[in-house]
Amino acid sequence: MASITIVIPVYNEEAGIPAIVEAFGPYFKSTSLNAKVLFVNDGSTDQSLQEIEKVCLLNDHFEFISFEKNAGLSAAIKAGFDYSQSDWVGYIDADLQTDPMDFLSYEAFLGEFDLITGKRVNRKDSFVKNLSSSFANWFRDSLLHDHVSDSGCPLKIIRKDLAVSLPFFKGMHRFIPALVLMQGGKLKELPVSHFPRVTGKSKFHLWNRLLSPFLDTLAVRWMMKRKIDYKIRSTNSLTHPN
């Protein structure tokens, strides 16, 4: 049976940890994969780590790693990918604005695609957040041509070996589809449900939703243009790259 680790970055989400456990109960019962959740505590200053430790002590489906200090969402995702011991890795936000049950619709495509990512339908965010996200997606696709309408959707499944090979940098979580394509992978975008935030506070605002993604998009475009690509026609060497 193929295995998957769902990575959940956590930063000051103490009130939402019990809800995460409850939301994943039906998923664990329904999935065709050998599934676990890996919490990545990103230097929380509230009681998030203590709540996570309680969950992991009582439920074998949950594990955790904890940073010494806050390192950011992209670092938490990378650490989760690096520490996962599974064929596939998934990603979902701790705020549960997306539903882990939507991962089930991804499973039929795992043999054909390297990344399955969500497109949030009827988003329950503020007007400003939706507007800035729409502009960022349009700008990103105009330059990177990944043809994904919701690159930042926090509901993804990716092949583990491909996930750890991606170039990581602050803000890279917005560009996973483009980076997968740059590595020669295939992706599929599927509609997923979206809900209002119930606990915690958003870690993003207009400034870091527009300026940082703008600069990062230019950086990713530069990487795509400068990517080294070659194909071996023939060789008598017995040495193969790892």
Angstrom distance (rounded) from CA 80 to CA 173? 12
Average pLDDT over residues 76-103: 96
The residues spanned by each domain of the chain are 3-226
Angstrom distance (rounded) from CA 194 to CA 216? 26
Question: What's the whole-model pTM score?
Answer: 0.81
**Cβ distance 194 to 98 under 8 Å?**
yes
Q: Which residue has the tokens 């990344």?
A: 115
- The answer, yes or no, to whether residue 140 has pLDDT greater than 80, is no
Looking at every residue in the chain, the average pLDDT score rounds to 85
pLDDT score recorded for residue 127? 46
Angstrom distance (rounded) from CA 24 to CA 27? 5
- Biggest CA pair distance of the chain: 61
pLDDT score recorded for residue 2? 96
- Residue 184 — left, alpha, or beta (φ > 0 → left; ψ -120 to 50 → alpha)? left
Tokens of 72: 């950011």
Average pLDDT over residues 83-93: 97
Angstrom distance (rounded) from CA 162 to CA 155? 17
Average pLDDT over residues 154-164: 95
Residue 214 banded pLDDT, cuts 50, 70, 90: confident
Contacts of 207 (CB under 8 A, 6+ apart): none
Residue 237 banded pLDDT, cuts 50, 70, 90: low
Residue 216 banded pLDDT, cuts 50, 70, 90: confident
The tens digit of pLDDT for each residue in 6-43 reads: 999 999 999 999 999 999 999 999 999 999 999 999 99
pLDDT score recorded for residue 150? 85
Q: Which 8-state DSSP code applies to residue 15?
A: G
Pairing assessment for the beta strands 155-159 and 115-120 based on DSSP bridges: antiparallel
pLDDT score recorded for residue 116? 97
Assigned fold of 3-226: Spore Coat Polysaccharide Biosynthesis Protein SpsA; Chain A (3.90.550)
pLDDT score recorded for residue 135? 59
Edge to edge, the sheet with strand 155-159 lists 62-66, 34-41, 3-10, 88-92, 155-159, 115-120, 187-192
